[in-house]
DNA sequence: GGAATGCTTCGATAAGGATCGAACTATGCG
DNA sequence: CGCATAGTTCGATCCTTATCGAAGCATTCC
């Protein structure tokens, strides 16, 4: 009864609308200050501060102090994955919104998931990389193949795992209900997409919008 | 404050300890009745009923009515996956629970789960009964084998299902995270354990404490 | 130093919701 | 029909917690 991991504690942290909005905003991957998060959540600064310290206590956030600025970010990809999973359920059972606006359509196609790409494009990319045997997939395990290593290296993408973080990880996509690529490789690919100017981040949103040329380039490189 | 899927609504449903316990109990995949869930959550029946209707409204549960029994189950594998994700985070950040007291230790070993035995002893028993082919197990389905029927009959345990209630049912054990035996057979075995005076119920607790002789007898009969 | 900015803590208030007993409905049993 | 079991609804209580204003720290800039 009161055994096992305390999932109620974690869930109740996310269960407050103000905190949920903050976490949602942080799903974009960039760390934000308390003021920015207060604005995002629509609460006063003291209220936001209180929420943030609770999220910190709960282990859901990390804090990077830089002078008088304090940047809050999601604690780990695992936390991001959990939030994605909750979003997925909320989408599935939630009151179907009258009509999905254009922003939603863009989100469905491509968006940022913490630090990597998600959405239809990302799911298609993982499928393709597996088809081409650049990645080897077994259930939820994804590994880099030798040919994959040289392939990404040729693209200027580092695939050595310096940290403890895995190079490849499967992350469930709420809009497509299938996995896309996370891990350091997933993050590096998103970096490249932005660096090459193939796409830009939509302001105040997780949506990632490809330019016509950028989409072609992306498809040529990652969708064969 | 962007609009999006209402993750706070979903998370707050899981954020109540009673509801979290219920969902945890349902993670085994078998549907449970309101009474069973009330016991599992440690709340009264009216309280459980209120929680269950909230979970239903939230789309997290499905309901199968069979006569006067109402079996609640998780709405989908997607919901189960979300809960798994939350468990994962809770495990990762969870401040290792306070030291388990002696009562908790006893509960871990053996306790009552509604009307049958749960805990390490019960899990071991089910394993053993399956090994001995007295019970046939396929995933979460458990059936009585012909040899099992005569075996239990010889022990004075009735195995005819007079009611609609199944003879055998798998019930997920929260302390061991594996299944133990429920259903009328599980209930009958617990009855026998108490009737033979092998063990007594701890007062005001679900713990079941075996006497030294009782434990030997139990092991001789059920653990081979 | 003093002023300005970023953020946290404190205190009071208010609202939400978890809880249970009692009463009520529904199904099954004889 | 009468009784027992399973479950829900209602009403009252009580506790948690979200909220903001005011005040308090901390850092930076001039």
Q: For B165-202, write each residue's pLDDT tens digit.
A: 667 877 655 555 567 787 778 878 888 888 888 988 76
Residue A204: band (very low, low, confident or very high) from pLDDT cuts 50, 70, 90: low
> Which nucleotides in chain D have some atom under 7 angstroms from a protein Cβ?
5-11, 17-23, 26-28
A94–B174 CB contact, under 8 Å: no
Smallest CA–CA distance from B16 into chain A, residue: A8
- The pLDDT score that the predictor gives to residue B165 is 61
Whether B138 has a pLDDT exceeding 90, the answer reads no
Q: Which of A194-198, B96-100, B141-145, B163-167 has the lowest mean pLDDT?
A: B96-100
d(CA B158, CA B172): 24
Asked whether residue A68's C-beta has any atom of DNA/RNA strand C within 7 A, the reply is yes
Alpha-carbon torsion angle A118, A124, A126, A128, nearest 10: -160
**For residues A104-117, average pLDDT:** 82
Q: In this predicted model, what pLDDT tens digit does every residue of A136-186 receive, in sequence order?
A: 887 667 888 889 889 888 888 877 766 666 788 877 776 666 778 888 888
Token pair recorded at residue B181: 């035996």
**For residues A91-97, average pLDDT:** 71
- The pLDDT score that the predictor gives to residue A31 is 83
**CA B96 / C1′ C30 distance in Å:** 54
Which helix or strand (DSSP H or E) is residue B216 part of? helix B212-222
Residue A223: band (very low, low, confident or very high) from pLDDT cuts 50, 70, 90: confident
Q: Judge contact between B90 and A6, C-beta under 8 A.
A: yes
> What values do phi and psi take at B63, rounded to 5?
-130, 130
Q: Where are the alpha helices (DSSP H) in B58-182?
A: 77-93, 102-109, 120-131, 146-154
Chain B segment 185-214 residues within 8 A of A by beta carbon are: 206
Which comes out higher in pLDDT, residue B163 or A189?
A: A189
**For residues A11-23, average pLDDT:** 95
Which residues are in reach of strand D, CB within 7 A?
Answer: A 12, 16-18, 43-44, 46-47, 50-51, 54, 67-68; B 33-35, 45-46, 48-50, 52-53, 68-70
A94–B16 CB contact, under 8 Å: no
Q: Which domains does chain B have, with CATH numbers?
A: 7-93 (1.10.10.10), 102-222 (no CATH)
């Amino acid at each position: 009864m009161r055994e096992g991991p305390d999932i109620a504690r974690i869930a109740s942290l996310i269960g407050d609308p103000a905190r949920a909005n903050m976490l949602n905003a942080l799903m974009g991957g960039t760390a934000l200050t308390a003021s920015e998060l207060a604005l995002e959540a629509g609460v006063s600064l003291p209220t936001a501060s209180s929420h943030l310290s609770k999220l910190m206590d709960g282990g859901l956030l990390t804090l990077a102090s830089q002078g008088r600025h304090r940047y809050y970010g999601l604690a780990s990809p695992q936390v991001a994955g959990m939030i994605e999973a909750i979003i997925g359920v909320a989408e599935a059972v939630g009151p179907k919104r009258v009509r999905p606006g254009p922003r939603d359509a863009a989100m469905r196609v491509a968006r940022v998931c913490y630090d990597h790409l998600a959405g239809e494009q990302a799911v298609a990319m993982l499928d393709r990389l597996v088809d081409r045997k650049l990645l080897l997939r077994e259930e939820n395990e994804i590994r880099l193949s030798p040919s994959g290593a040289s392939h990404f290296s040729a693209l200027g993408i580092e695939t050595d795992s310096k940290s403890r973080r895995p190079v490849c990880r499967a992350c469930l996509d709420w809009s497509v209900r299938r996995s896309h690529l996370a891990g350091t490789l997933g993050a590096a690919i998103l970096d490249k997409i932005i660096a090459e100017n193939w796409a830009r981040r939509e302001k105040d949103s997780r949506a990632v919008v490809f330019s016509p040329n950028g989409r072609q380039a992306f498809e040529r490189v990652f969708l064969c």
